[in-house]
Structure 1
Amino acid sequence: MNHRIIVAFVGAALFMGTAATMTARRAKEIKKDFLTTTSNTVLVASHRAVHNVYPENSIPAVKEAIRLGIDIIEIDVKVTSDGVPVLMHDGKIDRTTNGKGNPETMTFAQLQTYNLVVKGAKTEEKIPTLEEVLRLAKGRILVDLDLKTDKLGPIIDVVKKTKTEDIVFYFDSDYNALHFVDKVDKKYMLMPRAHSQAMADSALTLFKPEVVHIDFSFYTPEVVSLIKKRGARVWINALGPIDILLRTERRDEALDKLLKHGANVIQTDEPELLLKLLKDKGLHI
């Protein structure tokens, strides 16, 4: 073999190995921050991955979140009639594909006959499986699994199969679903949704979760203190009006609203904008 080719091959192999190590180190750093409630780092969660650029819940949207250095992707999971967990938010595929119908009454093969759409325009992208996305995310980014189904067994099976228990946490406002996950393995990370201080207190007692999802109706210093003292992070959404502010010159006002009482995980439709703003303020490494 030509000497130059050998040198180039070895160099490429070393680069790939170094890149993989750096990626793994990045994932570990995110996880360490995620589990450290005293950390000053505010984590960024990308809603349905980076769907303001690519189709929501798609492979390119996940890849873009990883490329940007986002901490968490939020993805929505349903299960086909033949037991394949796939990414889909709505009860029907009408809005996000060029097909129609309930994905949970269709086989995976049937779903693959349709393409994802963006603002009505057909793309080349297909509905991805959860397994594809978890293999892509492994070692690179944390994953918030928004459970849009009561067929939880196949989802947990895929997490086990891909060995991604260390990056996945399960989200639901249905506490029966979280109880199911918790019974399978107490080590699984959970994010219950609360709608009041009393509900947050109950969720902390029931699950000892890693993070609690709250909203602005009861976003107070007392609630944040309660959650952090019990060893969990505080998740709040920028979705809607605050994301709109982030797109303007009033972005500092938007950030003040989000951080007012100490929330330290923010879900947004503008992950790149928010991440840059947090870094500029010294709130993200």
Structure 2
Amino acid sequence: MTLIFAHRGYSHLFPENTMKAFKEAEYAGSDGIELDVQLTKDGEIVVIHDEKVDRTTNGKGFVKDFTFNELRKLDASYPKKTFLKKEPIPSLYEVLEWMKTNHIICNIELKNGIFPYEGMEEKVIALIRAYNMTDRVVLSSFNHYSIVNCYRMAPEIETAPLFSEGLYMPWIYAESIGAKSIHPKYTIAKTELIKASMEYGIAVRPYTVNKENTMHRLFSAGCSAFITDDPVKAIKIREQYC
């Protein structure tokens, strides 16, 4: 069965990368969630996508220039004006604590392409191990050096390179860097590529799949999983294939 991962949580309806969005994704029946991590000025792992807080909060500036306590005062529900309740930026600790109450799989994307956060991989891995979540987490990044670094430090945690452009025989590339899966942009995740990768033993989880016709194609191909903003739509379509 093709698994459904909620992109930054149930971000179609709820503020992205917040505990509210993650919990709503679980209630909706998602198999997994996808989130992004960065480091604060004082070295805390926080869940936020952009290097700046401007788009997703009522603050301004780079994540790396805020302390954890300063970041927590910002409102991450700010862009979704319909929300009356303030939503803070979560820490990865908070997400893993919540994961103890369910069976959700978590894809953690390391946002270290623009700012190479010193020691972030070590901190993320230490936290995953402390929570005994090594079999429920996938580490992904567009920074493939980081993915290799993670694999060397923690071969027991699944890694997945992210890529948005065509890669020749990506299953061979994945194997060469110790990755058990690939996360291609959906536009380059052709059906032949999906099938060839999976036959080779490499899982394929395209991102970010919101169009119904693409969802139908991926379910028909028996794709391992895909990442979507709207897990409810994906679950409804999946029912036709079960």
Work out the percentage of aligned pairs sharing the same amino acid: 26
Specify which of 129, 141, 147 is matched with residue 104 of structure 2: 141
Task: Map 1:60-79 to 2 at 5 A.
Answer: 60-79=20-39
Contact 2:59-2:74 at 8 Å conserved across structures: yes
Contact 1:204-1:230 at 8 Å conserved across structures: no
What stretches of structure 2 of length at least 5 have no aligned partner? none
Aligned counterparts of 2:200 and 2:178: Cα–Cα separation in 1: 8
Counterpart residue number, 1:17: none
Aligned counterparts of 1:109 and 1:74: Cα–Cα separation in 2: 24
Counterpart residue number, 2:241: 281
Contact 1:116-1:125 at 8 Å conserved across structures: yes
Deviation at 1:120, TM superposition (A): 5.7
From the superposition, tell whether residues 126 and 152 of structure 1 become closer, same or farther in structure 2 (CA, over 3 Å).
same
Specify which of 209, 224, 227 is matched with residue 197 of structure 2: 227
Deviation at 1:274, TM superposition (A): 0.6
Letter in 2 for 1:168: V
Letter in 1 for 2:159: L
Contact 2:42-2:67 at 8 Å conserved across structures: yes
Letter in 2 for 1:131: Y
Aligned counterparts of 1:218 and 1:125: Cα–Cα separation in 2: 35
Kindly tell me the number of residue pairs found equivalent between the two proteins. Answer: 232
Residue 114 in 1 paired to residue 85 in 2? no
Residue 205 in 1 paired to residue 198 in 2? no
Counterpart residue number, 1:181: 150
Aligned counterparts of 1:52 and 1:205: Cα–Cα separation in 2: 33
Deviations 1:6-40 (A, max 9, x none): xxxxxxxxxxxxxxxxxxxxxxxxxxxxxxxxxxx
What stretches of structure 1 of length at least 5 have no aligned partner? 1-40, 247-252
Deviation at 1:255, TM superposition (A): 3.0
Counterpart residue number, 1:196: 166
Aligned counterparts of 1:63 and 1:185: Cα–Cα separation in 2: 28
Larger radius of gyration: 1
Letter in 2 for 1:60: K
Other structure's SS at 1:236 match = coil
Aligned counterparts of 2:185 and 2:21: Cα–Cα separation in 1: 25
Counterpart residue number, 2:138: 169
From the superposition, tell whether residues 56 and 215 of structure 1 become closer, same or farther in structure 2 (CA, over 3 Å).
closer
Aligned counterparts of 1:188 and 1:279: Cα–Cα separation in 2: 30
What TM-score do you get using the length of structure 2 for normalisation?
0.87
Aligned counterparts of 1:53 and 1:219: Cα–Cα separation in 2: 26
Deviations 1:54-84 (A, max 9, x none): 2111111111111222111000101111111
Contact 2:36-2:49 at 8 Å conserved across structures: yes
Deviation at 1:199, TM superposition (A): 5.8
Letter in 1 for 2:4: V
Aligned-CA RMSD value? 2.1
Aligned counterparts of 2:25 and 2:191: Cα–Cα separation in 1: 31
Going by fraction, where is helix more abundant, 1 or 2? 1
Aligned counterparts of 1:181 and 1:148: Cα–Cα separation in 2: 13
Contact 2:57-2:79 at 8 Å conserved across structures: no
